[in-house]
Chain A
Amino acid sequence: MLPRLCALLSIGLMLLQSAYASPLRSPGPFSERVHQTQIDATLDTDTHRVNAQMTLVWTNTSVQTLTNMPFHLYLNAFAHTQTTFIQESNGGQLRNDAREGDDQDNFGYVLVTALSDASGNDLMPNWKMDDDIADLTLPAPLAPGESVTLNFSFVSQLPKVYARSGHNGDTFNFVAQWFPKPGVFFNGQWNNHRYHANSEYFADFGNYDVRLTAPSEFVVGATGVLVEKTEQDGNTTHHYMAEDVHDFVWVADSKFGEASTEYEGITIRLLYQPPLDEESVQNQLDAAAATFRWFHEHVGYYPHSTMTLVQPPEDADGASGMEYPTLVTTITNLDKSPFQEMAAMVTIHEVGHNYWQGIMASNEFEESWLDEGINSYTEGRIMAESFGQPYAFHIGPLNVSMPYGHHLATMGARVTDPVNTPSWEYATTGAYGLNSYSKPATILATAERIWGVEKMDRVLKGYYQAFAFKHPTTQDFLSVAATVDEDMAKFLDNALNTLQTIDLRAYRMSSDKADSRGGFDLTSDPANPTFTAPEETDSWQHSVTLLREGELMVPGVNVNLVYADGHVETRYWQMTPDKAWEKWQWRTDSELVEVLVDPQFSVLLDGNFANNNKITGENSKQAWRWVQSMFISMQSAVSLLLAW
């Protein structure tokens, strides 16, 4: 009986599964599911306006009784010229895009038109809106474990897109940060920052059950999985479900082309701008699959069953390169290039964010490096280890791999803030960018090279296992690192939380013919000590001084000592915190011609690689070769090009 019952049950389950696509690849819940959000939204594609009803069931998972509940109204950041976002972003500029002018369609808003509780009591008098945030006084105190049900009617007017959300004035509608979104009750208080120019978001996990209605000729993509599609009067309603996600976005464009592939139960769907050749389409799907392959191997499980890649049209650049749970936007140009991998790299970056943000959901307002920094680091490894293309840029023998790209951006940059700084408190937008992306990526790459990739993998895996779906902080990341290697954790702590820097140098070097011992022989006849003049011997006396500038410590690095006879000796320079220098003196039979500190470039955080070596003798002319070659090729290029 039992086996038969099991068989029947599993057939039933299979039928259920095929009838109802599941948003998860394996049964949840994976998160606390603080809210259940149900939305019924209709997009007017002419006015780019969304009319919606939303039922939010929010559970107090804290240990405190709550009397109010703050909300984000992100789209109101685009409502007028005095909002925090527009003021901080120099009138509306983000990344490479900017507000196109003062016409009405460059502005947007989200307005709550009606709000009631489960019994239908009007809560509008309790709703206090202040530009892009709002505060709701709860109808009754909400005790721990209790839930409150709120019914919203709201209108979202999309702006012309220049900062993630909006339309292109034509058929492309990217509907993000579009509904009233509760803040996060975190560490004993509400966390509900305004929409800042240099900042992304922070939200609680929950389930979404959303019906999206748009004209039938529009292709729709959204967070989660499509469970049903119904058509009525030329409009189609797309029913999407998402579980254990902290945001819901959707996109509608009548011009999208579609392609998809499967990777271990994840449906990867690409919505692109035709025409796009087959190779470029495949490149995108491959990039996404390579990302999942790497994360499954090195970090952890992706619980969702979908990943949608959206290519914005060229005139919607502001929407490009952005991550949302189970849906990301690529760059606008997806053509596979023979010499640069930007199209794949950005996709790998954004899909990677489904871990460092999607699954971890740390506070992007306050600790942006936890998403962008870790992601910039892993993106380089995915390119090299899983996608099979380590270079972001490569022409002939010239190339830039990701770690060196980040090193270049970091070296010599002014140190104004610690990496771990709230996003609106950096000295400049440039400092936000440096400290959110390239510098933390370089810090992690340095740790990987010093302590080994195996330890770094243990940190990433441990971080995922301990903190997935739990809003971890920098401290949580460091605590995991400390369980792997105390020294590494200390290095990471200093590199991330202080202004400490490091610059290793080959400071002094000499290599001279050694003399034999000469002079008075003090043990000989005291009345008339014998004297022998020192003589030159065949051996060489070397002296090398190495210098560590800056307070940041690493345990040590290798130093290559190159001798005139071609022999290369590698010595380890063990560093100590209380001494910035190291001096070596020794003798060999061959002249020392070069000292090269850190020949493997393991300390990518080194502020200047150009001072890492010293060369003497014949080899000091090495540099002339560069100059000579460069100079002569430039000069003959001019002659050859003009034939005069």
Chain B
Amino acid sequence: MNAASIVIAGVGGQGTLLASRIIGGAAIKSGCDVKVSEVHGMSQRGGSVITFVRYGDGKVSSPVIDSGQADAVLAFELLEAYRCVPYVKKAGGRIIANLQKSDPMPVITGAMDFPENIPEKIRGLGIPLDLLDATALAVKSGNSRAVNVVLIGRLAAALSFPKEIWLAVLRETVKPAFLETNVSAFDEGYYYKGK
């Protein structure tokens, strides 16, 4: 019943599935039971994609996270972070979000406006928000595609698994040729000090 619940939110095609696999992998290596709920199909065409990871020492039953149940929301895009506010656990939940904004079709067509001051609004609700420019950090690490790994690094710093476990999972998950830049991308997130 006391499983840790992590929501990973992004836009279809952003690589949220890989993130869920790495987090799940770290939990297994730490001896936890794990469930991951993925999204395939239509939403992967640029729609909102929400993936759940749950793990704990005891048996984890549901692969799904309900509103008010997430210990952490890891958002690859700012609007998706805002959309996921209802998932955040009132007692102790937090959001880690990439600064990047991506306009959804209703904004592109002008039918709706992109909400302003999202970080302030999230913090205004009393939710701790850890905001980083993961896209820039990924570029800095030498691998512009590793935005998801930067974000995982940031999340890893907030979770209790030792760093070696994360690195071991990274070694098993990414292609050897990209390992080095992925590890530096991970470190960019892991050691990020905020600004």
**Pairing of A with B:** no
Residues of B within 8 A of A (CB): none
User: Which positions in A face B, CB cutoff 8 Å?
Assistant: none
